[in-house]
Structure 1
C-alpha cells in the first residue's frame, strides 16, 4: 500500500461502514475515492479521512505512550471461565499475576497447565469453589461468563434472584473476594439481550455488590493489533469506596489495522511465517467447488450452476448468507473465527490454498504466540481458540486496567489525563451503550 493511502476495505473497517456504503458515498460526493496510479483499484488518502471522527481517533492515538504502562506493584488476578487462556495471557503480558483460574472444560485446563504449569488452576464447576480465602488478597477479577437468559416474572432480580445462572457465580466470587476492580467480557449481543433486561439485571446486581459500573463498551479487535473482525463487550466495575475521582481510560487504538498477511507471514506481528500444523480437510467435491471462489469472495462468486449445487434449497432464499463458501483475503483482517472453520455457514478458507485454516493459523489470528500449544482433539483445539478473547485485545485492556489500579494506588501515577465524556462517543473503534 502507498504510504498515507488506504484501500476501500481498510476505510470500511476504520469508519465502520460497508463497502457498499463507500460506493454510495463515492457516487454522491461525500467521500470520493481516487484511482491507484499503477493499478485498477480505488484508494483514499489520509487527508480525506481526517474529517471523520473515527479516523481522528486512529490517527491521534496514544498507543505508543500506553504501551509503556507498567504496574506499580504486583497486581493479583483471579480469572473465571478462563477457557484456553486468551484473556489470562493478555493480562499476564500487561503485568498481572494470576493467583487462581477456573475452567470446567478438561481440554482447556490441559492447555492452561501445559503452557503455564505454575498457574493455580481449578478444573471443575465454579459452583464448587469457595472464594472467601482470597478476600482482600485480589486486585482484579476477570472473565467471560456465559450469557444465560433470566426469568423476570414477578422478581426484582437482585443478587439472590439470579441463583442458577453463571453470572450469579461470577457475582458470588466478587462478593466473597471484594477485589478493587472486576471486568466481565461477553458478546456484543448482551447489550440488547431480552430487550436490554439482562444487562439491566446485571447492572442492578453490580450496584448491589457495591461497585460502580462504567458505561459498557464494545471494543473492535481490529483496532488493537488483532488481524480479525471480532467484537467483545467489556464491563468495567470499580469498588464504590475507591471509585470517587478515579477515571478509567479505555485503550487507544493501534496506528493501523492488521491483516491476514500480518497474521500468517513474517512481519510486524510475528518474526516468521506461520508454522505448519494440523487442520481440517474439505471433502473432495467441496474442495472442487471452493477452488472457484476468489480471495475475499463467497458463494455468489461461483458460477451459477455451482451456486445451485452448493446452496441447494438455500439458493432460492433471501439474504446474503455471506459466510457460506467464504475465502479470506490476504490484505484484509480475517472474519471472526468460529469454533469450526469448515462448517458450511461459517467457512474460513485459506486465501490461496483450498482448505480450512489450520490450528496454528487460527491461533495466530487470535494473536496467541507460536509457543502456546493446545490440548485435546483437533475439533477441541479449534473450539478453544474460536472461543478465546484475542490475546492482543486482552493485552490492551490489561494495560488500561494497570493504569486504573496504578491510579487507585497513587492518584498522581495515572499515565494519561482522563478523557472527557464528550470524547467517549460511539464510533467504529468502540461502541458505548446508550
Structure 2
C-alpha cells in the first residue's frame, strides 16, 4: 500500500504536519511565510520540502509537486471567535481561509483538512465562509464534514477545542468518520510536566505536580504586534494561578534546587513555564526544536495545531481514503 501524500499550507512550527506524518502521510510540500517557522521545519525534518512563501502569493503551477496529492491540510491563523473580539481586524485570516479553498481548484486533492477556531464549524459569525466553501467545492465533487474536536480527548494536557472542516471526494465520503478520542482520564499539567520541573533538582516538583491536577487552559500564541510572551488572557491566567503558575510571562529555565514555591506570596513565588514545557503541553515531542528567541518561539508553539490532534484527524482521513470504496474508485 502506497504512502498517502499531503501539502500543508501555513505550516508554522509543524504541529499539523508532524501529526499527519505520524498518521502515515508523506509531505510533498510545506509552506510558510515566516523565516523562523521555516527554520524550525527544516531543522527538525531536513528531508521535508519546505518553501518560504506567502500563501496569498503561492502559484501551484510553479510547483507541480503539489499536484495530485491525497490531502491538502491547513492549520491557519485563527479567525475571530466572536464579534466582540478585541483586535485590529485586517481580514488576513479570512483571506487565508479563502486562498486555501481556491487552492483546491488548482491541486485537486482527494481530501481537504482545515483546522481553526471551534466557532468556524458552527457559529453564525462564520456562516458566510461555510457557504463559500460549499459554493466553491460542491461542484468539484466534495462532501463536507464540519465538527469540533477537543485536544484533551487525544492525550493533549490542555482544554483546547478545534473547529475542523474535512472535505472528502464523494467516492470516499461515506467512509469518513469523525475521530473519537479514547475513553480515559485527561492528561494533567502535573503529569505532563512533573519530570521537567524536577530536571534541575527542584525538591517541590512533585508537590507542585500534585496541585497541577487538571488540563491546562488553551495556550495562546498572541500577535507579533503584542509585547512579550504570556500564557493567555486574564481568565486563563487566573486558572494558571490556581496551579501555582505565573502565567504573565514565560520562563527561561525550570526551577533550581533553591526556588521557594509559595503561591500565597505572589507571582514571584510561582513557577514559570518554559517554551519547551509549553511545547510538551501542545503534544510536541521533547526532541522538537523551535527556532528563534523566546517570544518568537513561544508564539510558534502557541499557534500550532497539537500533533496528537493532527494525527487523529489524519488517521480519520486515511481510513476513508483507504477504505473499500477508495479501492473500488481507484480500480
TM-score, normalising length: structure 1: 0.57
Within 1, Cα distance between the matches of 2:181 and 2:231? 31
1:384 maps onto 2:300 in alignment: yes
Deviation at 1:172, TM superposition (A): 2.5
Match for residue 327 of structure 2? 410
Q: Using a 3 Å threshold, how does the CA distance of structure 1 residues 252 and 199 change in structure 2: closer, same or farther?
A: same
Q: 1:92 aligns with which of 9, 12, 21?
A: 21
State whether residues 32 and 54 of structure 2, in contact with CA within 8 Å, keep that contact through their aligned partners in structure 1.
Answer: yes
The answer for unaligned runs of 5 or more in structure 1 is 1-71, 150-161, 267-272, 278-293, 297-327, 413-434
Q: 1:105 aligns with which of 31, 34, 41?
A: 34
Within 2, Cα distance between the matches of 1:88 and 1:173? 18
Match for residue 179 of structure 1? 109
State whether residues 135 and 179 of structure 1, in contact with CA within 8 Å, keep that contact through their aligned partners in structure 2.
Answer: no
Q: Using a 3 Å threshold, how does the CA distance of structure 1 residues 90 and 168 change in structure 2: closer, same or farther?
A: same
Match for residue 123 of structure 1? 52
2:114 is paired with a residue of what secondary structure?
Answer: strand
Match for residue 248 of structure 1? 176
Q: Judge which range, 177-186 or 329-338, deviates more.
A: 329-338
Deviation at 1:329, TM superposition (A): 4.6
Q: 1:202 aligns with which of 133, 146, 167?
A: 133
State whether residues 79 and 100 of structure 1, in contact with CA within 8 Å, keep that contact through their aligned partners in structure 2.
Answer: yes
Deviation at 1:376, TM superposition (A): 0.8
1:137 maps onto 2:68 in alignment: yes
Deviation at 1:202, TM superposition (A): 2.7
Q: 1:211 aligns with which of 137, 142, 149?
A: 142
Within 2, Cα distance between the matches of 1:295 and 1:189? 34
Q: Using a 3 Å threshold, how does the CA distance of structure 1 residues 411 and 220 change in structure 2: closer, same or farther?
A: farther
Match for residue 219 of structure 2? 337
Q: Using a 3 Å threshold, how does the CA distance of structure 1 residues 373 and 202 change in structure 2: closer, same or farther?
A: same
State whether residues 15 and 307 of structure 2, in contact with CA within 8 Å, keep that contact through their aligned partners in structure 1.
Answer: yes
Deviation at 1:186, TM superposition (A): 0.8
Within 1, Cα distance between the matches of 2:181 and 2:66? 35
Within 2, Cα distance between the matches of 1:252 and 1:344? 29
Q: 1:361 aligns with which of 263, 277, 295?
A: 277
Deviation at 1:135, TM superposition (A): 6.4
1:410 is paired with a residue of what secondary structure?
Answer: helix
Q: Using a 3 Å threshold, how does the CA distance of structure 1 residues 228 and 110 change in structure 2: closer, same or farther?
A: same
Deviation at 1:165, TM superposition (A): 1.8
State whether residues 219 and 233 of structure 1, in contact with CA within 8 Å, keep that contact through their aligned partners in structure 2.
Answer: yes
Deviation at 1:114, TM superposition (A): 0.7
Q: Using a 3 Å threshold, how does the CA distance of structure 1 residues 126 and 342 change in structure 2: closer, same or farther?
A: closer
Deviation at 1:342, TM superposition (A): 5.2
Q: 2:316 aligns with which of 385, 396, 400?
A: 400
Match for residue 167 of structure 2? 237
The answer for unaligned runs of 5 or more in structure 2 is 81-91, 201-206, 222-228, 246-260, 262-269
Match for residue 351 of structure 1? 244
Q: Using a 3 Å threshold, how does the CA distance of structure 1 residues 135 and 374 change in structure 2: closer, same or farther?
A: closer
Match for residue 6 of structure 1? none
Q: Using a 3 Å threshold, how does the CA distance of structure 1 residues 113 and 249 change in structure 2: closer, same or farther?
A: same
Deviation at 1:148, TM superposition (A): 5.8
TM-score, normalising length: structure 2: 0.74
State whether residues 149 and 163 of structure 2, in contact with CA within 8 Å, keep that contact through their aligned partners in structure 1.
Answer: yes
Q: Using a 3 Å threshold, how does the CA distance of structure 1 residues 107 and 136 change in structure 2: closer, same or farther?
A: closer
Match for residue 425 of structure 1? none
1:373 is paired with a residue of what secondary structure?
Answer: coil
